[in-house]
Amino acid sequence: MTAPVLIGLDFGTTNLKGVCFTTTGESLVRVEAQTPRNHPQEGWTEWDPAHIWDTVIQLLQGLLQRLPSGYIPVGISVASVAESVVGIDKRGYATGPIIAWHDRRSMLEAEWLCSRISAEEVFAITGSPIDATFTLCKLLWLQRHRPEQFNAAVHWLLVADWIAFSLTGEMAASASLASRTLAFDISRLAWSGKILQAAGLDRMTFAEVRPSGTSIGKVNPEIANRCGLPKDVVVAVGGHDHVCGAIAAGAVRPGILLDSIGTSEALFVPIAVPTKAANFLKASFCQGVVQVVQQSPSYYAIGGMPSAGECVEWFLKLLQGNKGIESLSDAASGGDPNRALFVPHLRFVSSPTPQRTGRGAFFGLTIDSSTSELFRAVLEGIAFEGKYIIDHLISMAGADPVAEIWCVGKIFQNTLFQRIKANINGVPLRVAEQPDLAARGAAVLAGLAAGTYGSIEEALQMTRGYWSKRSPEKALQQAYRQGQVRYNRVRENVRLLSQELYAHQQ
């Protein structure tokens, strides 16, 4: 007797993960490796495609070596970070390093693009503002600063699409990743000729967009032999990691907000149609489309904070390993809320008041302030900032009010953070007890392509997994309402002071 399994790969900022799931969503085998990265200059981050590909192969080999007997892989799909792009030459090889999604070296290219086509026109087509992190600006930077790498490319693929191509030799693009390029018309589900013409780029270098969960082809026999995969394993179109996570959670219906925190935080809310509101553009929120095989396209608005989980790691490093998160949480749980305030703008100021001159700050310290009190302030600051973003995102996108927040990420396993988050937002949380939601979503898409599931509804009924619930507490909720008001005032003053400090440094 044999049983089919589905492989979900997740290319993240910090780690690369591979998970084998049964068709009912049970995680059988999990392998993880650090995402190999380079920093050629301060503030720059790049990935070596050869090193990344070797790591993918090692993940697949590790999964197959550990897979219990009787289980046979039938499908693979990939979730990945967005914005990062890989050039493919005539032989099918990557033309050079991959610029990480959060790398902002292409700010001048973003300004140049604004001189060629207005931000309003781009927003009307893509649902997003012109920003240096988007793929289009990275391509313009490569064209101007690394012409050999740029000119050698005959095709451009986003990271998940590139890994799928490397497995099969066939090219396809997912709409959720295309939505993060600044060159995709989210209403027409097509590459925008108008934007690409303004940027001076060739539409034909971009792969055909196909629904996530569509079969691209079978794994190349040589790669299958190298990894120990059956030769008839199907590779499916995957997508943006946050979207794959939302698919796995079923969090693509009104009233549900998906809050995913890793290095950064992504706040994902379904919307009926893309908004054209000018204040949404000014706030630098983004929109995108989810296109799953056999389903009508659906839309989402997304915001977030670039250093949410990173703030916790930063604080722990300041303590030089003297205390871990568990002991700090135990001590902080016995304290009162709002004793100190922390503004978590360690990298940038988040939308709806985007600013690249961010500075973090503690406020309200006394001679009696303890490390546990400051740690609680860090957790509260992350949640206060999230609430500030959520309120503006929902209002500006015209989305339904949030009835529940579905939470994904290691930080949500912390009981104190759960309590803080639920009470600051005043709605119940659903916390994923099973990790690797993006990989799980990729596995669901692999199952659709392999014919394991007849529909996405059937897949979700079988694979939803387990979620614990955390409800607000009346007294704490009231205390945090007052805390949010104070936080908003402190946040604005810190933002303005950061802006002033930056102006004096120029």
The vertex-385 CA angle with 383 and 390, nearest 5°, equals 90
| Percent residues over pLDDT 90 in the chain | 81
pLDDT at 462: 77
pLDDT score of 148 more than 80: yes
pLDDT at 505: 67
If you average pLDDT over every residue of the chain, what do you get? Answer: 93
pLDDT score of 466 more than 80: no
| Domain extent listing, the chain | 1-506
Pairing of β 190-191 and β 265-271: unpaired
pLDDT at 120: 96
Mean pLDDT of 99-109: 95
pLDDT at 321: 66
Mean pLDDT of 442-449: 97
d(CA 257, CA 241): 16
Segment 385-441, tens digit of pLDDT: 999 999 999 999 999 999 999 998 889 999 999 999 999 999 999 998 877 889 999
CB of 457 within 8 A of CB of 417? no
d(CA 483, CA 390): 16
d(CA 349, CA 45): 20
d(CA 258, CA 255): 10
Segment 368-382, tens digit of pLDDT: 999 999 999 999 999
Which of 116-130, 152-166, 207-221, 428-442 has the weakest average pLDDT?
Answer: 428-442
Give residues with Cβ within 8 angstroms of 162, minimum separation 6.
Answer: 49, 86, 88, 94
- 143 or 464: which leads in pLDDT: 143
pLDDT score of 323 more than 80: no
Burial (CB < 10 A; 0-12, 13-18, 19+), residue 274, is: buried
- 262 or 364: which leads in pLDDT: 364
User: Structure pTM?
Assistant: 0.90
- β strands within 219-363, DSSP E: 234-236, 239-240, 256-261, 265-271, 286-290, 298-305, 341-343, 361-363
Residue with tokens 């722990």: 316
Distance of CA 239 to the CA centre of its chain: 10
User: What is the CATH architecture of 1-506?
Assistant: 2-Layer Sandwich (3.30)
Q: What is the CA radius of gyration of the chain?
A: 22
Mean pLDDT of 9-28: 93
Query: Sheet containing 265-271: which strands, arranged edge to edge?
Result: 286-290, 298-305, 265-271, 256-261, 404-408, 429-432, 467-470
Whether the bond between 352 and the residue before it is cis, its omega within 30 degrees of 0, is yes
pLDDT at 318: 87
CA distances to 101, 133, 153 from 146, rounded to whole Å, are 18, 18, 12
Please name every residue paired with 301 in a beta bridge, in sequence order, or none if there are none.
269, 287
d(CA 406, CA 44): 32
Binning pLDDT at 50, 70 and 90, where does residue 324 land?
confident
Q: H or E element: which one contains 309? A: helix 308-318
The vertex-59 CA angle with 56 and 61, nearest 5°, equals 110
Mean pLDDT of 95-99: 98
